[in-house]
Chains A and B, each alone.
Chain A
Amino acid sequence: MLTQPEFLAPLAARRADQVVVSTMSLVRAWGRLSKHELDFAFADSAMGHAQSLALGIALAQPQRRVWCLNGDGSMLMSLGSLVTIAQCRARNLVLFVAQNNTYEVTGNQNIPGAGAVDFHEIALACGFPHAFHFNVAREYEAHLDKVLHLHGPVFISVRLEPGAELPPNRKQSEDTPYLRGSLADSAHRLKAALSVEQ
């Protein structure tokens, strides 16, 4: 099993000009490591749909890599989206699923099928050309450069220790900068940033 820093720190070290969409327990965790204008917190939004938003961005901007940091509970809410993503052949999309087997932000209740769901096999069966599962930090980091640059969509599940992240609420006093604005402000700001950089 990886710790949350073992999962996210190698990604942060490789962060360049990708769009990174995070959700649920990964929002604050990623926000502590990255403060890029192309980070987007899918928080105070619609549960289970971060990967579909990431798909839309990836299709809109095929020249840019898009990473989605998803939770396993969120992934279960919209498993069919794996079929949609695969059929769209979004070559620039990498979908991560942090598999801690719990709904972390509500206190670590088990997700349905906790421990029994093989997400990366589901992704392959849905048509993803590449899907990987890592549960050892050393192997994850050793393969990361290669998998991040494959022609996607790429699916990566990572077995994670449960943590204790709180719900990612948006408020002005929030420690994590990209949670300070409203969801609408964040969406419009990302749109503006993407239009400038195109």
Chain B
Amino acid sequence: MSEVSGATAPVIGEEALDRLVGRGLIVVTGKGGVGKSALAAAIARALARRGRRTLTLEVDPRENLHQLFDVPPSGGQAVTVMPGLLLQNLKPQQVVDWVVRRQVKIEMLVKRVLDSPIYHRFVEGAPGLKEMAILGHALRLLRGETPGIDAVDTVVLDAPATGHGIYLLTASRLFADAIGEGPFADMAREVAELTADAERTGLVVVTLAEEMPVQESLELREALEEQFGRSPELLVINGVYPPVPEAATATGGDADELLDLWRHRRQVNERELNRLEQTWSGPRLVLPLEPVDRGAELVARLERGLEERPVNGTEALLP
């Protein structure tokens, strides 16, 4: 790989996790199919190992993070993955219900409201409300305001795919700006303060070294800078084919085809890694394609990559 002048000085050797370890909220996002959930799980494990009491928050109603942790499904409760690491699958409606309960103290009226189809449509239909509720829940977890769960140091959010990911961050601020008063406005304001604070909130973007996901990551970055005045803390380039060793020897037939495919896929990766090196001014971490596609074994390998691989620098191009 030839030397390419990057947009920033490389931070060779600086561990990716150092950038994240002090923060309260870590939002992990990326295009569908790039390994976002597995990476969120790996980050959460690594932070828990560093002594941070961590909760992984999943908002996809079809639970799958528990499979990556090899624990039973959360079903809305916080389940222990290992000492210092929890997993919770959150239905945003739960949070909105909680606000209702706190405001309306009369049980009969609470039930009337919560059972009302109008209320459900409101929660479903009101733009921005669910997104705000997700982050509001994260905030309560950090403060130890969630019944049955002791305060955590870090919430790792397995956020919706990119387009919705940026919206997740902007919704509460827009909500706070647009809405002046009331309990939701208060929650939105607090959430907006949290997400705007680079000391407290970190954003991790996950991509593959392929054209479409890289393009989407660049667009996400641009939108973040424009709307938030800040950039992601870390870009993880996942699933990169290893370079083909120069000593590789083709012996004809299938071996030729194997090498040919390998070289081409690696070329696609290198092209996109070069593009990122020139356009992405900020920490990038390259993780190799692993011969395992799910479960705790995948998470363990990603975690090792997070711990061991250098950030930036041209050697990052060589897994």
- Whether both chains belong to one complex is answered with no
Interface residues of A (CB under 8 A from B): none
